């Protein structure tokens, strides 16, 4: 019998996947906390609020009903698909049928399904950077090539059509859009959204639009849905969303993708061979979430807005840090260039990754270095925590910076 020439235990495709840096930092901070150390963690990408009680109660009730102990259809409970269609038309104005909805194990799974369904070997996917760390990894897993399109702090971390044109190739298939953005908190205004939508139609490209932070926008900012402002995009749009951020339900794992009928039925086939349906009880909780009012998210938004003002001011008060005002989501994305190449009790960071290690070791403050999002020299700080903790953590950071010395 012929043997394989070399033994390779892990497949090349999986060996090339990077660990989620945000989850890794969070795990390290939690491990230090478990040792009894007082760590302030700005790493986590999740609301610090409990899931509203009415939702948890609906789930508890669902647990006791034997009909929920069975499989549901792969695509999700018909009532939930209907509730998602209704919610989408209420919130973004996109009118879709329940058949265009696939319920997935969180938004992340919807993103995986989308790339797996649309991307062929060698297809290029345009991803503005800084980007949420999952996008390029999920593209690579699908056999595609992630193409980073750099943005800058000066232009609010947003891409423009003329920038995008520079990265276009005959293999470009798809553009990834997220507004409000993780990690930058940037929100595209109406004119910017129209310009992007127009560009996509003119170039005949697909778009995956991640709308998971749609309700977390501040001041006059608004999340625009590209296929709503440009209906000619409809046939080439996939919308990603979920209950995680809006209803403080990260752990329940309910998300969805919405798209043209052929894309959704292909993605249902994929899901039927991989994960099947999302937990029945979690789907029942999601129905309660979506059919109920949006008053809990209004309270969370008000709290996030106060925290945003606080963290923005405190960060910019530290010499060497520059942080634009976040417009949505719950992240501040700051330039730390002015803090590099200084001595922190003898340790001299050349990169934001090294600086993040030093800050965790010496100040017991966890931040996610920009390397995780494709931009060295920056860091993402989640402000999904109490104002007291924000003050405590940023004060510690300020003290560490104050004690640092030029080299
Ligand atoms: N999209 C973005 C931009 C996110 O930040 C997240 C969560 N960090 C998700 C999607 C996925 O959320 P989940 O899988 O928890 O639904």
Q: What is the pLDDT of residues 205-218, one digit of tens each?
A: 999 999 999 999 99
User: Alpha-carbon distance 38 to 40, whole Å?
Assistant: 7
Closest C-alpha among 215, 216, 198, 218 to residue 207: 198
* CB distance 124 to 169 below 8 Å: yes
- Cα 279-281-286 angle, rounded to 5 deg: 95
**Candidates 134, 214, 326, 333: which one to mutate for ligand 1, based on the most atoms within 8 Å of Cβ?**
134
Span from the CA of 82 to the centroid of ligand 1 (angstroms): 22
Q: Pinpoint the alpha helices (H) of 207-246.
A: 226-229
Residue 307 in 3-state DSSP? helix
Residue 2's pLDDT is: 64
Which DSSP category does 6 fall into? S
Which residues of the chain are under the pLDDT cut of 70? Answer: 1-5, 21-22
Span from the CA of 223 to the centroid of ligand 1 (angstroms): 16
Residue 26's pLDDT is: 75
Q: To which residue do tokens 């965790």 refer?
A: 360
Q: Pinpoint the alpha helices (H) of 205-293.
A: 226-229, 261-273, 280-291
Half-sphere exposure of 374 (CA within 13 A, CB side): 22
Residue 389's pLDDT is: 96
Fold of 53-291: 3.40.640
- Residue 178 near ligand 1, beta carbon < 6 Å: yes
Task: Give the domain ranges of the chain.
Answer: 12-50+296-406, 53-291
User: Alpha-carbon distance 194 to 191, whole Å?
Assistant: 5
- Residue 139 near ligand 1, beta carbon < 6 Å: no
Cis peptide before 130 (omega within 30 of 0): yes
User: Kind of pairing, strands 124-129 and 40-41?
Assistant: unpaired
Domain 12-50+296-406 carries which CATH code?
3.90.1150.10
User: Alpha-carbon distance 85 to 273, whole Å?
Assistant: 24
Residue 25's pLDDT is: 74
Q: Enumerate residues 6+ apart whose C-beta is below 8 A from 336.
A: 320, 321, 352, 355, 370, 377, 378, 379
Closest C-alpha among 185, 265, 177, 267 to residue 229: 177
Within 10 angstroms of residue 208's Cβ, the number of other Cβ atoms is 27
Q: What is the number of the ligand 1 atom nearest to the C-alpha of 210? A: 1
pTM of the model: 0.95
Q: Report, in angstroms and rounded to the nearest whole number, the Rg of the chain calculated over CA atoms.
A: 22
DSSP 195-206: HHHHHHHHHT-E
Residue 251's pLDDT is: 96
Q: What is the number of the ligand 1 atom nearest to the C-alpha of 242? A: 16
Q: Enumerate residues 6+ apart whose C-beta is below 8 A from 197.
A: 226, 227, 229, 230, 233
User: Alpha-carbon distance 193 to 216, whole Å?
Assistant: 17
Q: What is the pLDDT of residues 345-395, one digit of tens each?
A: 999 999 999 999 999 999 999 999 999 999 999 999 999 999 999 999 999
Half-sphere exposure of 95 (CA within 13 A, CB side): 1
* CB distance 283 to 103 below 8 Å: yes
Give me 377's structure tokens. 């020299």
Closest Cα to atom 10, ligand 1: which residue?
A: 107
Q: What is the number of the ligand 1 atom nearest to the C-alpha of 132? A: 3
Q: Based on DSSP, count helices (H) and strands (E) in the chain, helices before strands.
A: 14, 14
Residue 4's pLDDT is: 65
Closest C-alpha among 306, 320, 376, 281 to residue 65: 281
**Candidates 45, 243, 382, 384: which one to mutate for ligand 1, based on the most atoms within 8 Å of Cβ?**
45
């Amino acid at each position: 019998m012929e043997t394989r020439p070399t033994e390779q235990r892990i497949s090349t495709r999986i060996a090339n996947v990077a660990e989620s840096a945000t989850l890794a930092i969070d795990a390290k901070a939690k491990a230090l906390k478990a040792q009894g150390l007082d760590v302030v963690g700005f790493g986590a990408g999740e609301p610090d609020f409990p899931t509203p009680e009415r939702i948890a109660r609906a789930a508890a009730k669902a647990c006791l009903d034997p009909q929920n102990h069975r499989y549901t259809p792969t695509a999700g409970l018909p009532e939930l698909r209907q509730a998602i269609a209704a919610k989408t038309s209420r919130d973004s104005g996109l009118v879709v049928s329940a058949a265009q909805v696939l319920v997935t194990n969180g938004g992340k799974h919807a993103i995986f399904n989308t790339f797996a369904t649309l991307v062929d070997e060698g297809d290029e996917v345009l991803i503005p950077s800084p980007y949420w760390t999952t996008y390029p990894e999920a593209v690579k897993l699908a056999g595609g090539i992630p193409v980073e399109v750099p943005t800058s702090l000066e232009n609010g971390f947003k891409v423009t059509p003329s920038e995008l044109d520079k990265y276009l190739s005959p293999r470009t298939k798809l553009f990834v859009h997220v507004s409000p953005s993780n990690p930058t908190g940037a929100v595209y205004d109406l004119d910017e959204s129209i310009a992007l939508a127009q560009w996509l139609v003119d170039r005949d490209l697909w778009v995956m639009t991640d709308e998971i932070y749609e309700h977390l926008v501040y001041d006059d900012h608004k999340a625009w849905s590209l296929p709503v402002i440009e209906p000619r995009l409809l046939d080439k749009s996939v919308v990603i969303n979920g209950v995680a951020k809006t209803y403080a339900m990260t752990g329940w794992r309910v998300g969805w993708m919405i798209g043209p009928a052929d894309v959704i039925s292909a993605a249902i086939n994929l899901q039927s061979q991989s994960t099947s349906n999302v937990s029945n009880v979690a789907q029942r909780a999601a129905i309660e979430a979506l059919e109920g009012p949006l008053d809990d998210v209004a309270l969370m938004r008000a709290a996030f807005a106060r925290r945003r003002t606080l963290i923005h001011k405190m960060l910019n008060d530290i010499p060497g840090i520059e942080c634009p005002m976040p417009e949505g989501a719950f992240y501040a994305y700051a330039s730390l260039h002015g803090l590099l190449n200084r001595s922190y009790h003898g340790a001299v960071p050349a990169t934001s990754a090294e600086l993040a290690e030093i800050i965790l070791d010496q100040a017991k403050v966890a931040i996610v270095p920009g390397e995780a999002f494709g931009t060295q020299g920056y860091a993402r700080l989640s402000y999904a925590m109490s104002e007291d903790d924000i003050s405590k953590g940023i004060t510690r950071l300020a003290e560490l910076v104050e004690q640092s010395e030029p080299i």
